[in-house]
Amino acid sequence: MKRLSLRGCAGSIFALAVSTAGPLPAHAQGFGDLALGVALDKLGDEVNQAVLNAGNVGQATEIEAGREASIAIAEAKNAYADSLDKTVKTLDPEVRQSIDQIKSLADGVANNTITSVADAESRLQQITNSLPFANNEPQVTSVTPRFVVPARNSYPVRISFKGNFINAAQNGLTPSLTINHKTYTGAVTTQEVVFLVPVSEIFPVNPGADTSKFRATTVSLDVPWLKSEWLGLWHEKKDDKFSVFVGALPPSPGSLILSHTVTGSNHVVRTFTSQNFHICSTGECGNNDDIDHHVTVRPDTGWHVVRGSSRAGVGSAQGDHSGPNFVADDGDQVTYTATTIHHRFGSSGSIDFSISFQEYQDQPTTTTVSEPVALLWGDSKLINYPAGSWKLAVTTFDGNHLEFAGVDSSQKFVNVGSSGGTDSITTANPATLVWP
pLDDT reading at 13 higher than 60: no
* C-alpha span between 406 and 296 (Å, rounded): 53
pLDDT at 12 over 60: no
What average pLDDT does the segment 187-202 reach? 96
For the residues of 299-339, what is the DSSP string, one character each? PPTT-EE-TT--EEEEEEEESSEEEEEEEE--TT-EEEEEE
Q: Is pLDDT of 10 > 60?
A: no
pLDDT at 273: 98
| DSSP label of 80 | T
Q: What is the pLDDT of residue 257?
A: 97
Burial of 27 (0-12, 13-18, 19+ CB in 10 A): middle
Q: Average the pLDDT over 291-300 and give the result.
A: 98
Is the backbone peptide bond immediately before 224 cis, with ω within 30 degrees of 0? no
Name the pLDDT band for 279 (thresholds 50, 70, 90).
Answer: very high
* pLDDT over 70 at 300, yes or no: yes
- Cα 209 from Cα 232, distance rounded (Å): 55
Distance CA 261, CA 391 (A): 9
Specify which residues 275 forms β-bridges with: none
Segment 283-294 mean pLDDT = 95
pLDDT in tens, 106-153: 999 989 888 888 999 999 999 999 999 988 899 999 999 999 999 989
| Model-wide pTM > 0.95 | no
d(CA 37, CA 17): 22
Find, among 351, 333, 339, the residue nearest to 297 by Cα: 333
> Is residue 232 within 8 Å of 11, Cβ to Cβ?
yes
Output the CA–CA distances (angstroms, integers) from residue 264 to 270, 292, 313, 383, in the order listed.
20, 44, 36, 20
- The whole-angstrom separation of Cα 323 and Cα 186 is 105
pLDDT at residue number 59: 81
In this structure, are residues 1 and 86 in contact, taking their beta carbons and an 8 Å threshold? no
- 36-55 pLDDT, tens digit each: 999 999 999 999 898 988 87
- What phi and psi, each to the nearest 5 degrees, are found at residue 427? -95, 160
Encode pLDDT of 403-435 as tens digits. Answer: 999 999 999 999 999 998 899 999 999 999 999
Q: Is 254 left (phi over 0), alpha (psi -120 to 50) or beta?
A: left
Domain boundaries, the chain: 2-251, 265-363, 375-427
pLDDT exceeds 80 at position 384: yes
How does DSSP assign 152-182, residue by residue? Answer: SS--EEEEEEEEE-TTTTSTT---EEEETTE
Average pLDDT over residues 48-64: 84
Q: Could you give phi then psi for residue 392, rounded to 5 degrees?
A: -115, 125
> Which DSSP state fits 88?
G
